[in-house]
Amino acid sequence: MQFPHVGGVVIGDRVEIGSCTCIDRGSIGDTEIGDDCKIDNLIHIAHNVHMGRRCKVIALAIIGGSVVLGDDTWVAPAAAIRDWRKVGKNAVIGIGAVVTKDIPEGETVVGNPAKPIATTLHRYK
């Protein structure tokens, strides 16, 4: 049996949403998109996501259920964030990264599973 979804979707001011993007309504509470966010084409934002202000989510990204994105977060193309994760303010999720753990404020992560870029620089030398 499917769980009844009684929440909604709250979209802030000056939000841009690209084509073929799916934003799921909340299950009990609302899915919230903060002011001035830019959401590209072909994005999936799952149930109960809380996206802060001025976030940018780029093509083919997947944001799992109940994820919290802090203000000014940037999610690169084809990145995936697992459900129930918290991403701090000013974080950068690199292209194709798979986020399986919370990301602290200001952190830049890359890879699968996503790790701070400082610990993965040896790959690029």
* 34 DSSP β-pair partners: none
Element at 92 (helix H, strand E): strand 92-93
Annotated active-site residue 47? The verdict is: yes
Residue 17's CB is within 10 A of a number of other CB atoms, namely: 16
Rg (CA), the chain: 14
Instruction: Choose the catalytic residue: 5, 44, 47, 122.
Output: 47
Residues designated as active site = 47
